């Protein structure tokens, strides 16, 4: 099988990108590779439930943490800000645990129905998606800390293959958390 000029160009470009990857890209690529591996091991239903529980946990924690704060305020006589943060975390954990149990139950049903390969491939995809969302949130927080580029140079972050695309994926999720945090600071 002969390689034509166009294929050779793409192979050389790919090898050059691999060689020029920064340490950050190697770490992020390793994390994404590990996420795909774990997703294949866990299966679609566990990973889908995990992703849904992460998103639903954040949504319900933002929406209903004030309700939980009212309940906790009756038992705890702490700083209201501390109670609000604990209410957020507690609401998040309850939602995540509940949906995770549902995912494990659905995986048992999928194994019983012989949906092995689609279950595994879907699991790899959704685990990678969840990892990208979590890393995107971490990168947004990092961006706020690294405002004057004393932790990482702007050039390093701009040259990264994974940093900017991952950071942009959390764009729809992070504003709701930031708005919730700003509302707490105002109270």
Condensed to tens digits (0 to 9), the pLDDT of residues 142-161 reads 777 777 877 778 888 888 88
Stretch (H or E) spanning 154: helix 154-159
Predicted confidence band of residue 54 (pLDDT cuts 50, 70, 90): confident
Indicate if the pLDDT at residue 185 is higher than 60. Answer: no
Q: Give the whole-number percent of the chain exceeding pLDDT 70.
A: 80
Average pLDDT on 172-181 reads 62
The predicted structure's pLDDT at residue 34: 92
Condensed to tens digits (0 to 9), the pLDDT of residues 122-146 reads 888 888 888 888 888 778 777 777 7
Q: For the chain, which residues make up each domain, given as ranges?
A: 22-186
The predicted structure's pLDDT at residue 172: 62
Does the pTM surpass 0.85? The reply is: no
Q: Which of 65, 19, 101, 79 is nearest to 176 (CA)?
A: 65
Average pLDDT on 86-97 reads 86
Indicate if the pLDDT at residue 28 is higher than 60. Answer: yes
Tokens of 177: 């958390």
How far, CA to CA in Å, does 28 sit from each of 7, 79, 120, 166? 27, 38, 22, 10
Condensed to tens digits (0 to 9), the pLDDT of residues 98-130 reads 888 887 787 777 667 677 788 888 888 888 888
- Mean residue pLDDT of the chain comes to 78
């Amino acid at each position: 099988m002969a390689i034509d000029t166009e294929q050779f160009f793409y192979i050389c470009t790919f090898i050059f990108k691999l060689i020029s990857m920064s340490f950050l890209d190697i770490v992020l690529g390793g994390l994404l590779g590990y996420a795909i591996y774990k997703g294949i091991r866990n299966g679609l239903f566990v990973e889908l439930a995990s992703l849904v529980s992460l998103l639903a946990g954040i949504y319900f924690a933002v929406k209903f943490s004030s309700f939980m704060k009212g309940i906790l305020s009756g038992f705890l006589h702490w700083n209201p800000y501390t109670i609000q943060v604990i209410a957020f975390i507690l609401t998040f954990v309850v939602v995540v645990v509940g949906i995770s149990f549902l995912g494990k139950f659905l995986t048992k049903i999928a194994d019983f129905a012989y949906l092995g390969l689609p279950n595994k491939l879907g699991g790899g995809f959704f685990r990678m998606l969840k990892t990208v969302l979590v890393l995107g949130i971490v990168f947004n927080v990092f961006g706020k800390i690294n405002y004057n580029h004393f932790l990482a140079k702007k050039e390093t972050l701009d040259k990264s293959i994974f940093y900017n695309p991952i950071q942009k994926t959390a764009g729809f999720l992070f504003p709701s958390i930031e708005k919730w945090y700003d509302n707490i600071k105002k109270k």
